[in-house]
Amino acid sequence: MSRPRKFLESDVVASAGVTFTAKGYSGTTLDDLVAATGLGKQSTYNSFGGKHALFLRALSLHAGEAIAELERALTTDAASPFERVKGQLLKLAIALSDGDAASDLFIKATIEMADSDSAVAESAHNTISRMSGVYRDCIEDAQACGEVSVEADATALANYFVAVTRGTEVVGSAGADRATLTAIALTSLGAIPGSATRPRRHPLGD
């Protein structure tokens, strides 16, 4: 008895994403996808419309996971808004220095294909916009509790941190060590107006 289609599709998309990440879109063949997913070539076309459509599904899955991870990091009540941003940047630096940079399908796809593939460009734009929104909400929370100057442009700062984190992933994939990546993270925090005088206690209590 075959597995339900919904489960099979989810499994195939995830497995394909691992292969696309490792080899890039251009370097991945249908034979590679067959080996990774267990689907035959015709089944891949019938179920997903071919290599490109399957790639877009994998890219969407990866982007959604990245956004969800960012939301978890920046919406927790365990730390003040500014400390959430700081913690997320430092966690990223540690992860990248441990070799996780190679697993970023979003960055690889954007660099490889966004200038020539409108579907990838649209996906990248939407992902960046959603990430910026998560940062903006956190920065606005920091403004509301006095950690960040109310005169700061929250949207501009949000876009800045998306650029910093995506750039950090590229630098990390090139082999930068933990000290270098950590320095990037800590230096970027200096762009937040009011950071030098922000309260050292949690904004919700002593």
- Asked which of 40-54, 84-98, 137-151 is least confident by mean pLDDT, the reply is 40-54
Burial class (CB in 10 A: 0-12, 13-18, 19+), 115: exposed
Would you say 41 and 30 are in contact if contact means Cβ atoms under 8 Å apart? yes
Mean pLDDT computed over 12-26: 92
In this prediction, residue 204 carries a pLDDT of 33
Domain ranges for the chain, please list them: 60-197
pLDDT tens per residue across span 164-176? 999 998 898 888 9
Give the closest residue to 37 by CA, choosing from 64, 57, 17: 17
CATH class for the domain made up of 60-197: mainly alpha
pLDDT at 199 over 60: no
Burial class (CB in 10 A: 0-12, 13-18, 19+), 2: exposed
Pairwise CA distance, residues 114 & 12, whole Å: 24
Phi, psi of 126 (to 5 degrees): -65, -40
Q: For the whole model, what pTM was predicted?
A: 0.84
> Could you write out the DSSP letters of every residue in 99-139?
TGGGG-HHHHHHHHHTTT-HHHHHHHHHHHHHHHHHHHHHH
Phi, psi of 195 (to 5 degrees): -65, -30
Give the closest residue to 132 by CA, choosing from 99, 105, 104, 163: 163
In this prediction, residue 202 carries a pLDDT of 37
pLDDT tens per residue across span 107-122? 889 988 999 999 999 9
In this prediction, residue 173 carries a pLDDT of 84
pLDDT tens per residue across span 62-106? 999 999 999 999 998 889 999 999 999 999 999 988 875 545 788
